[in-house]
Amino acid sequence: MGRAVIEAAVSAGIQLVPVSFSTQKESGQIVQVGGQNIQVYGPSDKEGVLASIFEEHPNLIVVDYTVPDAVNDNAELYCKVGVPFVMGTTGGDRERLYKTVEDSKVYAVISPQMGKQVVAFLAAMEIMAEQFPGAFSGYNLQVMESHQASKLDTSGTAKAVISCFQKLGISFHLDQIKQIRDPKEQLEMVGVPEEHLSGHAFHIYNLTSPDETVSFEFQHNVCGRSIYAEGSVDAAIFLAKKVRSKADTRIYTMIDVLREDAAISKPSTAMGGTELSPHHLLGVGRYWVSEKGSLEFSFPMRVVF
């Protein structure tokens, strides 16, 4: 995910900050990403390094794509230092996550889904659930989600869609989700292209009437990570504006990002409709280097907008 976000950031005119956090084992390594040498720091250094960078660059924004087990500890660190952040990582204790941010009053975009087009679909589902509660009462729901083997948790997008179906009157428990992580099954049963086994998100929701005479199927499939990377960059820019304007609201979702995009006129620029100006936003995100030395999650960035 980190490489995809970096590519989106670079294409938007963002310069990388050469700092990264990882495990103690990788501490001290130099990783080359986006044409730059990134200095890797271990867990014992991350608070001091992040605080130092935030002091030097008070417009810092962190974008987090790590692992579910790191969500809450990372958020607590960002809030302790006072750094605004975009949380693209799913999982963790979400109630604790929101309370941490609310108590700290740090600005944040938190979303289980960063792809703006998928978020628009989720928004449509929310509207349907709100306006037509119980419309699918008695229907049977089957859900299948397939992601790359490295994704450890259940799809946050699937959970959000299921929540809408529950409001529409369908009885369904999250443990009923068919979660597929085996590459062979993904190829043969799901139809994931082989070149995207390492990065994809396929979802199918099938509804059947009690007498099995009526059926509905909702499906959204994503190959690659560019849709999430581009949304993450847009979220960071959105959040920077909120910080700069000292907005009263502190916690946002990708639906808020979409709404703001829809509410403004979009000139054709390299920043997805954002006017260029002399202001600078610098952000340090998080690299997670695997045991094999490959870059897996998140990105440090410098945004000029």
62: phi then psi, degrees, rounded to nearest 5: -100, 135
Please calculate the CA angle 281-283-288 and round it to the nearest 5 degrees.
165
Question: Among all chains, which residue has been given the structure tokens 């443990």?
Answer: 175
CA-to-CA distance for 28 and 283, rounded, in angstroms? 21
The DSSP result for 59-91, as a single string, is T--EEE---GGGHHHHHHHHHHHT--EEE----
- Active-site annotation holder among 46, 116, 151, 242: 151
Burial call 221-245: b when 16+ CB within 10 Å, e when fewer: ebeebbbbbbbbbbbbbbbbebbee
Helix (H, G, I), strand (E, B) or coil at 106: coil
Q: Which residues are registered as beta bridge partners of 109?
A: 86, 252
Give the amino acid at 249.
Answer: T
- Check if 147 is active-site: yes
Question: Among all chains, which residue has been given the structure tokens 């670079």?
Answer: 10
- Check if 266 is active-site: no
- Active-site annotation holder among 46, 116, 147, 242: 147
Query: Catalytic residue numbers?
Result: 147, 151
